[in-house]
């Protein structure tokens, strides 16, 4: 598949490797969530616990690595609102909320948090599909293709909010009919997306790009197929994190602005991600705490939401700095190229 595509060949082994790894990690994570899901009222096993730690807390923790990259730190200082002020406000506000708000309000707050989290998942899938278009030399995603992916994510998110038992939120309010709305929106968006992508010319839809696009479009399918919370949700949580860690690993391993490449850079990323991830994971267990220690739970929620905000800025290829930084580090994936047929 990859050898028949000259654009993938032009990108080199990193393009082939990233395309295969992204799809393989996504699909195997979803399968792992299904196969390792514990029976109801049983404890989740060590394998799934480890995968969830990697896909959730470690991937969020890896965002801290960006603060150690001089070029990114400069960009953050020039844009303090997104990278400094908003994260600080989110942490302080969430700590205040968990300490002061009546406990009966917490499930509603958690539903809003998870709605944002799953929308963030789908924004990443949109980004992955956009990168796949660049990496394979296919034309950029057109508005209808982008809209389909975002709407499919909205459908999946609505379905999860409509069935809070899939998120294991105790005493969450049920919104009658919301799950059915989610089904309808997801199905319509999936059909719309398939029609949109198949209407590309044959040279504009390489098999590799098609596979990544469809994986992004149908990402939330497990939510509609399984009643077990772990089978429905854990797999997509792990898949999201592994996609992110793959890209972060490539960034850390890439030559920096001076052209220097260092294995120590990758090891620093691993250490930062695991240590910060461990802190997040432990903090998340304070949701049942009383007194001031409950603040750790607020810090956990605030930092996860900060990750959503920071990511939305640093991976936005339409903005000048992210485009320049990411293209300089990952030219094999992001440097614009076109197939000979499209160039004529």
> In the complex, which residues of this chain contact other proteins (CB under 8 A)?
33, 43-44, 46, 48-50, 52-53, 55-57, 106-107, 110, 114, 117, 166-171, 229-230, 232-234, 237-238, 241, 263-264, 267-268, 270-271, 274-275, 277-278, 280-282, 284-285, 287-288, 297, 300-301, 304
194: its two tokens: 């398939």
76 or 234, CB closer to other proteins?
234
User: Minimum distance between the CB of residue 105 and other proteins, rounded to whole angstroms?
Assistant: 12
The DSSP code sequence of 141-186 is PPHHHHHHHHHHHHHHHHHHHH-GGGGT-TTPPP-TTHHHHHHHHH
* Cα–Cα distance measured from residue 187 to residue 158, given in angstroms and rounded to the nearest whole number: 13
User: Minimum distance between the CB of residue 118 and other proteins, rounded to whole angstroms?
Assistant: 9
User: Minimum distance between the CB of residue 333 and other proteins, rounded to whole angstroms?
Assistant: 25
56 or 141, CB closer to other proteins?
56
* Cα–Cα distance measured from residue 57 to residue 160, given in angstroms and rounded to the nearest whole number: 20
141 or 169, CB closer to other proteins?
169
User: Minimum distance between the CB of residue 249 and other proteins, rounded to whole angstroms?
Assistant: 13
21 or 115, CB closer to other proteins?
115
To the nearest 10 degrees (0 to 180), the angle between helices 106-135 and 207-217 is 170
92: its two tokens: 């302080």
User: Minimum distance between the CB of residue 225 and other proteins, rounded to whole angstroms?
Assistant: 14
With the CA atoms of 8, 9, 12 and 15 taken in that order, what torsion angle do they form, in degrees rounded to the nearest 10? 20
* Cα–Cα distance measured from residue 120 to residue 112, given in angstroms and rounded to the nearest whole number: 12
119: its two tokens: 């929308």
193 or 229, CB closer to other proteins?
229
CA angle in degrees (0–180, nearest 5) for 178-238-32 = 95
52 or 314, CB closer to other proteins?
52
User: Minimum distance between the CB of residue 140 and other proteins, rounded to whole angstroms?
Assistant: 32
Helix or strand (DSSP H, E) at 341: helix 340-343
């Amino acid at each position: 598949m990859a050898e028949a595509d000259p654009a993938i060949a032009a990108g080199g082994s990193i393009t082939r490797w990233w395309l295969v790894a992204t799809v393989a990690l996504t699909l195997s994570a979803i399968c792992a969530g299904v196969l390792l899901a514990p029976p109801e009222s049983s404890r989740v096993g060590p394998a799934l616990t480890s995968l969830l730690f990697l896909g959730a807390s470690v991937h969020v923790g890896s965002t801290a690595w960006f603060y150690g990259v001089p070029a990114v730190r400069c960009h953050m200082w020039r844009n303090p609102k997104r990278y400094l002020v908003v994260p600080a406000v989110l942490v302080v506000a969430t700590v205040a909320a968990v300490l002061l708000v009546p406990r009966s309000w917490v499930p509603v707050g958690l539903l809003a948090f998870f709605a944002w989290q799953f929308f963030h998942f789908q924004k990443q899938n949109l980004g992955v599909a956009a990168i796949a278009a660049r990496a394979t030399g296919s034309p950029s995603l057109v508005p209808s293709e982008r809209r389909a992916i975002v709407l499919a994510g909205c459908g999946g998110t609505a379905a999860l909010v409509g069935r809070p038992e899939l998120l294991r939120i105790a005493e969450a309010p049920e919104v009658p009919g919301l799950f059915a709305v989610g089904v309808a929106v997801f199905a319509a968006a999936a059909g719309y997306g398939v029609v949109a992508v198949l209407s590309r010319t044959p040279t504009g839809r390489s098999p590799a790009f098609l596979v990544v696009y469809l994986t992004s479009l149908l990402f939330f399918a497990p939510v509609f197929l399984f009643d077990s919370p772990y089978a429905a949700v854990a797999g997509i949580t792990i898949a999201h994190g592994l996609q992110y860690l793959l890209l972060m690993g490539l960034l850390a391993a890439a030559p920096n602005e001076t052209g220097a490449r260092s294995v120590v850079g990758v090891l620093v990323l691993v250490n930062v991600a695991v240590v910060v991830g461990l802190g997040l994971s432990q903090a998340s267990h304070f949701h049942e705490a009383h007194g001031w220690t409950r603040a750790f739970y607020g810090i956990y929620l605030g930092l996860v939401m900060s990750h959503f905000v920071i990511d939305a800025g640093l991976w936005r290829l339409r903005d000048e700095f992210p485009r320049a930084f990411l293209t300089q580090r990952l030219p094999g994936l992001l440097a614009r190229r076109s197939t000979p047929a499209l160039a004529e």
